[in-house]
A and B are shown apart, each in its own frame.
Chain A
């Protein structure tokens, strides 16, 4: 955090220890870690923190430092332990002087272009039906949202909520695909 307090830098062995504590299987531990971090960020954002990612990382750091003391004795849902630590971190955050919000990132035309290129690539990876659904679902203007979705749902013989769920799941796949694509594009 950009404050006067000492910033603890998480050591690799501490990080490995927390992963191992979450799950002995390193792959599963990595997934659990990502999930916990995502939840921490979501909660901190909802609480109005302007830098939820930093506070989430700080929470994980604190847990990592304490794992060595609690790993043998802790009983219960390990994820919930993070929530407890988060409450402390957030409480401390509220006591700190308010920092100005970091400036919004500039409109990066090249970045937008990259997203469009990756979107195109990822759309091409979708199945025909998924692609068609996404095209229909997103080919709308704000006023016609309900009408259009009713029409698509009727065509597919499904309810509106099922349609939304299906479209958003495809959208989620697209998001993951695009993020992976952006990472690979950025690699030299």
Chain B
């Protein structure tokens, strides 16, 4: 086919649509037809316009008049009927997918989509400003910050009330190691909840001497740990019995193992609830080849 575009007319999309609906006037029609046969560009446009018109028909986007013309002048060939069938299929396939008229909520949601480039830049800028701001504050108020940190740390390291109380013989140099180290327990632990145990280190004594009996407050503890210094120290298994000062048995523990090295004491844990205000004694015996040997007596007072 010979292309002759020298005298060709540029038809608008609207004119092409009128041609498809048979609405060109008597003077336009022959010019259009002639060009359709000589201009493949026009032919391509008319083909696309056919699809567009069929889509508009399927989507109900044509007027009532156009709908009549569409049926009479357009929908007259098998090819075009198939075009409309596909338009309808596309409509059915995709219409439900789209929410075409964005609601206010959808609009807001779309605005808030975090993968939008604008949001990315905003967040990046915000983080940068925060970093710069923090650095400025640190540089500018370094002295005050250090002071404040020191103050806070200082407030959090008071002496704890769980420090073992004095022993029968304060000059004794075999005190348990923990006595010499500061207690790690912070103040708030004491005030907010009872601590696990109160610790009291005891050395053996022949009789209760009111002046030297160590005392302990147990109100805020679950357990009282009696650290019984063995004199002389002998490894083995021990039995400890807690009695009131007048000899009534309160609590006992069997098979307490003396540690092999390092410390020379055994720990005897007594539930704090069993202890009332008053004086107590602890009798310790050592199990030696099935025979019980007296290993010492210890005295203390509960305040």
Contact = CB atoms under 8 A, between A and B. Distances in A.
B37 A39 contact: yes
A115 B43 contact: no
A80 B36 CA distance: 10
Given A48-B22, A179-B82, A115 B37 contact: no
Interface residues of A, number: 55
B37 A83 contact: yes
Contact of B100 (A43, A48, A148): A148
Question: Which of B29, B73, B85, B88 is the most central at the interface, judged by chain A CB atoms within 10 Å of its CB?
Answer: B85
A26 B92 CA distance: 40
Interface string B84-112: 01101111111101101100000000000
Interface stretch (A5-13, A59-67, A138-146): A138-146
A178 B54 CA distance: 15
A136 B36 contact: no
A68 interface: no
Contacts of A168: 48, 51-52
Contact of A79 (B1, B47, B74, B92): B1
Given A46-B19, A148-B98, A171-B51, A142 B76 contact: no
A172 interface: yes
B101 A147 contact: yes
Given A138-B91, A138-B94, A139-B95, A35 B76 contact: no
Question: Which of B36, B46, B60, B80 is the most central at the interface, judged by chain A CB atoms within 10 Å of its CB?
Answer: B36
A148 B74 CA distance: 27
A125 interface: no
State the majority secondary structure of interface residues on A. Answer: helix
A171 B86 CA distance: 9
A112 interface: yes
A77 interface: yes
Interface string A24-39: 0000000010010011
B72 interface: yes
B24 to A, nearest CB: 7
B191 interface: no
B22 A42 contact: no
A175 interface: yes
A91 interface: no
A139 B94 contact: yes
A70 interface: no
A80 B4 CA distance: 11
Nearest to A50: B76
Contacts of B36: 39, 42-43
A182 B55 CA distance: 20
Contacts of A179: 82
Nearest to A171: B51
B98 A142 contact: no
A143 B102 CA distance: 12
B7 interface: no
B81 interface: yes
Interface string B15-36: 0000111101000010001101
30 contacts: A35-B43, A38-B43, A42-B19, A42-B20, A43-B33, A43-B36, A45-B77, A49-B76, A50-B76, A77-B1, A82-B37, A83-B33, A105-B81, A115-B86, A119-B86, A119-B89, A120-B93, A135-B94, A138-B90, A138-B94, A142-B61, A143-B101, A145-B59, A164-B52, A169-B48, A171-B51, A171-B55, A171-B90, A172-B47, A172-B51
The 8 A-B pairs at the shortest CB distance, nearest first, are namely A139-B98, A144-B100, A138-B94, A77-B2, A168-B48, A140-B100, A144-B101, A139-B97
Interface of B: 1-2, 4, 19-22, 24, 29, 33-34, 36-38, 40, 43, 46-48, 50-52, 55, 59-61, 72-74, 76-83, 85-86, 88-95, 97-98, 100-101
Given A139-B95, A169-B48, A175-B51, 17 more contacts: A45-B73, A46-B21, A46-B29, A77-B1, A77-B2, A80-B34, A83-B33, A116-B89, A119-B86, A136-B98, A140-B95, A141-B59, A145-B59, A168-B51, A171-B48, A174-B90, A179-B82
